Structure formats: C-alpha cells, structure tokens
Amino acid sequence: MAYIGKEPIVGNFQVCDAISVVNGQAAYTMQVSSTNVSPESANHMLVSLNGVIQKPGSSFTISGATITFASNLATGDVIDFIILLGHVLDIGTPSDNTVATAKIADDAVTAAKINNDIISGTTALATAPADTDEFLVSDAGTLKRIDYSLIKAAPVWTFIKSVTASGAASVEFANGSSDVVLDSTYIMYKVIAYDITVTGDDSNTQLQFSTDAGSSWITSGYDTIINRIRSDAANANGASTTDAMNLNSVGNSTNEECGFEFTLLYPSSGSTYAKYWFDGITRDQSARVGHHDGGGMYEATSDIDGIRVLQNSGNLSGTFKLYGLKGS
C-alpha cells in the first residue's frame, strides 16, 4: 500500500540502542541494532529520562530518526530507555500457527482466499461413497451439507463379478464362491456373455441352476420355450429339453460365435416358480446368423443360489458378467 509521508511501523515493538548523553545537546539519533529507526509518531513511544516517563509532544518531539528533548541535556542526565510501540492499533503480521479459529470472524473467508487446489490437493476417495459420506451444495446461495444417500441414483443393476473363460467346461456363479452374491440380496440377476466361442461344433449353449451353492447342478424340471429367427429364413420355435435351458446352437469355426443376456427373477423365492428369460445372437455351424429368445419357469424346492453356463458338448471361451438388481 502507498503512503503520503512515512509508512507506519505496524505492530513492531522495539527497544532502541542505549544513547549516551552529550552535555548541552537536545537532539539524538535513535537506532536499533545500530540502524536508524523512525517511529510512527511521538505518541507511539515510551521515553524515560532520569527515571521519569516523558510526555510526547511537550517533553520531546521527533523528526524521522531524531528525538529532540524540550531542553538541552546536561552531564549526569540519563536516557533510561526509548521504546518504539509501532502502530499500536494493529497487530501487524501474526506469527506462524498463532491465529486460532475463534479469531476469524464468521463469513470472513471468501472464495478469493481459498486455494484453487482445495479439491485436487485433497486425498481421493478410491471407492464409491458410503451413504453417510457428505457433499457440499449451495442451497440458494447458502452452503449446506448433504448425505450421499439422498443424491445417489435409484436402484440399478449392480456389477457382481466377471469371469473370462478359456476352454472351460463351464462358467459358474455360486453364492459364497469367489465374492459372488447370489441370494436374497437381489430380486433379479442377469448374466451377460459375449465373444463366446466353442469347441463342439453345432453345440447348444445351456444354463443350469444349483440350490446348494454349486455343489451339484439341477438336471431336470426346466420348462423353457424358445423362438429362433435365422438368416436363411428357417425360423423355428419349440420347447427346450428339461435337463437344462437350451439358449442357442453355435458352430466352432472362425467367426462362429455367440453372445446373450440371461435374466433370473426371484431366485430366493423358496418353494415357488423362478422365472427366467434370455435373448442372444449366434452364428451356427453353417455360418448362419440366428437370433434366439425365450424364457421359462423352474419350480424350485429351495432357493436358487447358483447359475452355470455350459455347452452340451465341448468347452467354451468368452467373457461372462454377473449383475444384480435390488427391489428398492
């Protein structure tokens, strides 16, 4: 900041070097550590002469770094001390780590005083926020906090697990196995499979259920209907065999592969029917493109807690992903 005249000494309390009295002299130079100092004014000084505090303006005056007493001093007089008070209405620059919260006025910290790295310089959250994690929002200009639970999206498909198979006899998702959750946590489960190739020519992609977390697989009771639309117009529909859910037929040559979505509703419904449906695309052993869809029901005697994908002959490769959907 610019000043007309001398810049104030702000909050800089100093004791001047000792001054030797010269007989018959009234004016003396003030120094601190052998350097000239200029007080803010005579009123910003404490001066003791011969043990008596002097009155500013009448007992002494100042001009720059010079103090002039009202009368010449004589041999034997003692200037006890001169203390420069600085600008006593201002604390100056506080020392490091000395400004406590109570010293900052409400609403005193403005946006201009907040560093641009207030977000980027903070530790990143490496996982999805917990329901009780809090965010800051501006409510009509008033800063407020809000829990994540109040702003997160409505229930959607939750990713559970991905399996990449290579020449596997089957791909299995069973509750309690390798972080899989397949129980009443979700009312609906979906398996999405793609880039599936097989070793068995003209083999059928199938699904089966388990009710003992994959210890055994059910080979009866699947009531499935299938619809097929094929590129050679040889469309068909019918019923699946009951030992598994037959989704399609696929060839084992280059570019003969398949992909599908399979959805299971109410796997943990106990002694009632579990509903399922599927939709997929395939290229069969004659390189014919086919669209297969269908669905059915399985009368469960206990909760379904496992799903596996297999071919009725040979092995399969590809990517398989399991998702779950909560009811609320």
Q: What value does the mean pLDDT take over residues 58-87?
A: 93
**How many angstroms separate the Cα of 270 from the Cα of each of 52, 170, 208?**
101, 26, 17
Q: What value does the mean pLDDT take over residues 289-299?
A: 91
- Regarding predicted confidence, which is higher, 53 or 101? 53
Q: Residue 2: what pLDDT?
A: 58
- Side-chain half-sphere of 172: how many Cα atoms within 13 Å? 18
Q: Residue 5: what pLDDT?
A: 58
Q: Residue 142: what pLDDT?
A: 87
Note the pTM of the prediction, 2 decimals: 0.58
Position 61 pLDDT exceeds 80: yes
Take residue 120 and report the two structure tokens written for it. 């980027």
- Regarding predicted confidence, which is higher, 111 or 290? 290
Q: Residue 108: what pLDDT?
A: 86
Report pLDDT digits (tens) over 234-244. 888 877 667 88
Question: CA-to-CA distance for 162 and 180, rounded, in angstroms?
Answer: 10
Position 3 pLDDT exceeds 80: no
Q: What value does the mean pLDDT take over residues 90-114?
A: 82
What does the DSSP 8-state code read for residue 125?
Answer: P
Question: CA-to-CA distance for 65 and 227, rounded, in angstroms?
Answer: 104
Measuring CA to CA, which residue among 21, 61, 26, 22 is closest to residue 45? 61
End-to-end CA distance of the chain: 62
Q: What value does the mean pLDDT take over residues 51-64?
A: 95
Going by their DSSP bridges, the two strands 35-36 and 31-32 should be labelled as: antiparallel
For the beta carbon of residue 14, count every other beta carbon within 10 angstroms. 17
Give me the amino acid identity at 120.
Answer: S
Position 144 pLDDT exceeds 60: yes
Q: What percent of the chain has pLDDT over 70?
A: 92
| Burial (Cβ within 10 Å: 0-12, 13-18, ≥19) of residue 104 | exposed
Position 7 pLDDT exceeds 60: no
